[in-house]
Copies of this chain bind each other. A is one copy, B any other.
C-alpha cells in the first residue's frame, strides 16, 4: 500500500499518455500494488494491454467503457449516458479500497467532448482515498483539473509517424 497517494495528469497531443499510465501500472504491479485501469471512450477493439492483463489478474483489472466506434460529436446524448454510467462505476472502484493505483484513461477526452463535466472530475479527485494514486490521461485536460493535480506532464507531439503514412500497428499502437 502507498504511504501517500497523489493525482497525476498526462495530457497533450503527443503519443505516450496511455502508455505512460500503463508503465506506471507495470511498475506498481511489480511492487505488489493492486491496479485498476479504467478506460473511457474506448468501447471497442482489443489492445495488447487487455491480453496481458488477463495473465496478471486479479492484481490488475482493466475495464473498458464507451460505445463501439468513436464519439458521435453531433449528438453526444448516448455517449454521455454511457460515460456517466462509467463514471459512477469508476467512482465506486476508486473508493472501494480494492486498488492502490487507479488510472482513468482518456477521462480528459471524455470531459473535452462534454460527456463528463469538469465539476464531476473535480469531485472524483476530492473523493480519492488518501493512499490511492489517481492517474488521469487524455488530451485537453481542463485547467481546473491541472490545478487540482499534484503532477502534470504535457506530452508534446514533436514528430509523428502517422504523417509519414505509418498505420496503427498491432503490438505498438494497439
Contacts and interface: CB of A to CB of B under 8 A. Distances in A.
Contacts of A49: 23, 26-27, 30
Contact of A10 (B16, B146, B150, B154): B16
A152 interface: yes
Contacts of A24: 19, 23, 172
Given A23-B23, A146-B159, A161-B6, A28 B172 contact: yes
Q: How many copies of this protein are present in the complex?
A: 2
A75 interface: no
Interface string A7-41: 01010101111111111111111111100000000
Interface in A139-171: 146, 149-161, 164, 166, 169-171
Chain A, interface size category, equals: 35 or more
A82 to B, nearest CB: 24
Contacts of A29: 48, 52
A120 to B, nearest CB: 22
A106 interface: no
A74 to B, nearest CB: 31
